[in-house]
Structure 1
């Protein structure tokens, strides 16, 4: 969801959206898994709001494709050794 929001709401290029650090809340257990790349001040701000923050080296892997008037763009998540490819 964060990758989609980064592209649609924040107009990030798909590659940057896929590479962006992530936060995940599972409900049970009641804590936030936060990637190491999230700034320390953001983590402290979440803790001040009552969240239990757990650092993680990475969260999930995303592959994404966008298509528009400028053509097709793909992005492979650098968290895993993958690559984007287009075929016609």
Structure 2
């Protein structure tokens, strides 16, 4: 009978140890998950900021090119709209 209860004790102790280990691992996984999520969020914001700067630069270049085109063809445009 002692042998049987020893087996049951070993079994319950083993299951309790596994539960405790899984609980600890679960908490650690949550910490890692939060860390990775925050890192990805910061990287995403950084990439979006770089993209916005490039889009702004392209908008400025397109505006300057448009103005150059208007100035270069001002005589034709003025005749077309009836100013000159």
Shorter-chain-normalised TM-score: which range?
under 0.3
Greater share of residues in helix: 2
Answer with 1 or 2: which has the greater Rg.
Answer: 2
Q: Which has the higher contact order (CA 8 A, sep 6+)?
A: 1
